[in-house]
Amino acid sequence: MSDTNAPAKAKDGDIVVEKKGDTKKQQVTDPSLNMDELRDLANLVIQHGFTDFEFENENIRVRLSKAVQVVAAAQTVAAPPVVIPSATNQPPVPAQEPVVDADAGLYKITSPIVGTFYRSPGPDKESYVSEGSNVSPETTVCIVEAMKLMNEIQAEVSGEVVKIYVENGQPVEYGQPLFGIKK
């Protein structure tokens, strides 16, 4: 996935998404809406269960819909599947190009319990996994602590850790995505 093509600059592109249960507001402040931010935005929209989200100003139009396709007018051609902000006012091209959710195809490891997420067995210890780590079903990927008990969470699939959705020490709810695994 490449974001080396210089993304178009949007003028007033601030998007604020607030997540319940998480005291941090996630703010996409960089008006040049880059790839990572768009991916994060897509994740948040999907987590919240929205079916549609649309944002438009004179330079850019972004639309995310639940069919897990991100449809955007692409000015520059990039290797599919990729999300590219538009620099023109072309109407969005319905996905004949396989422009899809950045996380499509990723297996999500979600928290089976309510608790606190930790990346390593102890404060001075190494993380169980990082981005790029390979895992097998029995690999312990993290700990979710609940009521003073440390629960080891297993991957349950084989693949590569591509995304880590939460931060060390963050409270997590039932079903909250923790890792994205490419199988």
Q: Which residues bind other proteins (CB under 8 A)?
A: 20-21, 49, 113-116, 146-147, 171, 173-176
Closest CB 77 distance from other proteins, rounded Å = 38
**HSE-CB of 34 using CA atoms within 13 angstroms:** 9
Closest CB 35 distance from other proteins, rounded Å = 28
In terms of CB distance, is 68 or 113 closer to other proteins?
A: 113
Closest CB 33 distance from other proteins, rounded Å = 27
Using DSSP's 3-state secondary structure scheme, residue 149 falls into strand
Distances (CA, A) of 76 to 34, 92, 124, 157: 14, 13, 46, 36
In terms of CB distance, is 117 or 128 closer to other proteins?
A: 117
Query: What is the distance between the alpha carbons of residues 43 and 26, in angstroms, rounded to a whole number?
Result: 12
In terms of CB distance, is 31 or 171 closer to other proteins?
A: 171
Closest CB 119 distance from other proteins, rounded Å = 17
Using DSSP's 3-state secondary structure scheme, residue 44 falls into helix
In terms of CB distance, is 116 or 120 closer to other proteins?
A: 116
Please state the φ and ψ torsions of residue 162, each to the nearest 5 degrees: -110, -35
Using DSSP's 3-state secondary structure scheme, residue 25 falls into strand
List beta partners, residue 26. Answer: 17
In terms of CB distance, is 49 or 123 closer to other proteins?
A: 49
Cis preceding-peptide flag for 85 (omega within 30 of 0): no
Closest CB 22 distance from other proteins, rounded Å = 9
Which residue carries 């991100």 as its tokens?
A: 70
